[in-house]
Amino acid sequence: MKNGAYAASAFAAGLVFGSGLVISGMANPAKVLGFLDLAGAWDPSLALVMAGAVAVAAVAFALAGSRASTMLGAPLALPATRDIDRRLVLGSLAFGIGWGLVGFCPGPALVALGAGKLKAIAFVAAMLAGMLAFERVERARSAGTPGPAARPG
Amino acid sequence: MERFATNVTLPSTVTIDWGSFTPASAAIGGVVIGIAVTILVLLNGRVAGISGIVGGLFRPAPGDIAWRLAFVAGLIVAPLLFVVAGEPPTVIVDADYPTLVIAGLIVGIATRYGGGCTSGHGVCGVSRLSPRSIVATLAFLASGFVTVFVIRHLIAA
């Protein structure tokens, strides 16, 4: 039964997250690119979206940090990785290139897909293919070494 | 704007597009995103990192699938609420299909390789003051700025 409760709260979280993306205008790639275009007519909106989200989320993580499990009894599964390594930096730099090419990152792309944009479907299909390819390569690489390194997303 | 001029080499002045700047809806939308993060961490004990939640579907573990699918379903259903309410979301995609596919592949691979995206590193990691996520966020912001500069001001110019 617990999985049902977890799914219900995750659905609510997704619904609220997607609504926030719509309200903030971040589901619109044109607006995201307006933020990334520092040398053009710059739209600073995205910075305020992050500021608003971080202000609330910081309180949530502070509250969560003092608990052993959640209100639904789920264990706290927060990323514990601390290393700043090559994967982190190269992966993030490459992500920024993909983001800047079209103005989509994963969340807004899924919201735009829900809004019925065919172009978002193309982006999401390619993104899922990329994630699947990554997983295949990771699995093949870790097959030889004991204990596959699970990396929190 | 001259008094904001800096010695940074790339854009020597930043011109704010006041017509496009939507501070109120941006901040309110951001707070709503923060509430979503709050729900997921306080009820599910999870970080609302969208690339991680989606990518985890390709690493299936017992009892770890339903919540991920439900979160993604919520994201996809959200815009429909705005359509029903008579306020369909504005989504303008200028990129052509080949570019979308290339960008999608890059984002899919890179967010998994780098362990997160704008939500996981940019919102959740930064609000946890994770040095890792702060570095990641600075990195993807920097390469995003450079990419758009190259496309709009070097190639298109």
Q: Is residue A8 part of a domain?
A: yes
Whole domain around residue A87: which residue ranges? Answer: 2-142
- Both structure tokens of B104: 């999608």
- Residue B157: pLDDT above 90? no
Tell me the pLDDT tens digit for each residue of B111-147.
999 999 999 999 999 999 999 999 999 999 999 999 9
pLDDT number for residue B4? 52
- Residue A152: pLDDT above 90? no
Question: Considering chain A, what percentage of its residues have pLDDT values greater than 90?
Answer: 77
Rounded to the nearest 10°, the torsion over CA B29, A73, A6, A56 is 0
The stretch A97-125 carries a mean pLDDT of: 98
Between residues B13 and B19, the one the model is more confident about: B19
Beta bridge partners of A41: B15
Tell me the pLDDT tens digit for each residue of A59-84.
999 999 888 889 898 989 898 888 89
In angstroms, the CA B48 to CA B66 distance is: 15
Tell me the pLDDT tens digit for each residue of B87-103.
999 999 999 999 999 99
Query: Under an 8 A CB cutoff, do A101 and B21 touch?
Result: no
* Contacting residues of B for A153, CB less than 8 Å apart: 47, 49, 51-53, 55-56, 111-112, 115-116, 120
- Residue A153: pLDDT above 60? no
Confidence (pTM): 0.92
Interface A-B, measured as beta-carbon pairs within 8 A, has a size of 531
- Residue B105: pLDDT above 70? yes
State the DSSP H helix or E strand holding residue A138, giving kind and residue range, or none if neither.
helix A118-142
* Contacting residues of A for B143, CB less than 8 Å apart: 92-97, 100
The stretch A77-98 carries a mean pLDDT of: 94
The stretch A132-140 carries a mean pLDDT of: 95
Q: Give A98's contacts (C-beta < 8 A, 6+ positions apart).
A: B102, B103, B104, B105, B106, B107, B110
Q: Is residue A152 part of a domain?
A: no
State the DSSP H helix or E strand holding residue A16, giving kind and residue range, or none if neither.
helix A2-24
Q: Is residue A153 part of a domain?
A: no
Q: Is residue A123 part of a domain?
A: yes
Between residues A59 and A142, the one the model is more confident about: A59
Helices A106-114 & A2-24, crossing angle to 10 degrees? 90
In angstroms, the CA A56 to CA B80 distance is: 25
In angstroms, the CA A55 to CA B29 distance is: 12
A56 by Cβ neighbours in 10 Å (0-12 / 13-18 / 19+) ranks as buried
pLDDT number for residue A145? 63
Tell me the pLDDT tens digit for each residue of B40-77.
999 999 999 999 999 999 998 988 999 999 999 999 99
Do residues B112 and A68 make contact, with C-beta atoms less than 8 angstroms apart? no
Query: Under an 8 A CB cutoff, do B115 and A151 touch?
Result: yes
User: How many domains does chain A fold into?
Assistant: 1
In angstroms, the CA B22 to CA A24 distance is: 8
- Residue identified by tokens 């299936």 is B60
Q: Is residue A110 part of a domain?
A: yes
Distance from B112 to chain A by nearest Cα, in Å?
7
State the DSSP H helix or E strand holding residue A11, giving kind and residue range, or none if neither.
helix A2-24
In angstroms, the CA B144 to CA A33 distance is: 9
What is the three-class DSSP state of A75? strand
pLDDT number for residue B11? 53
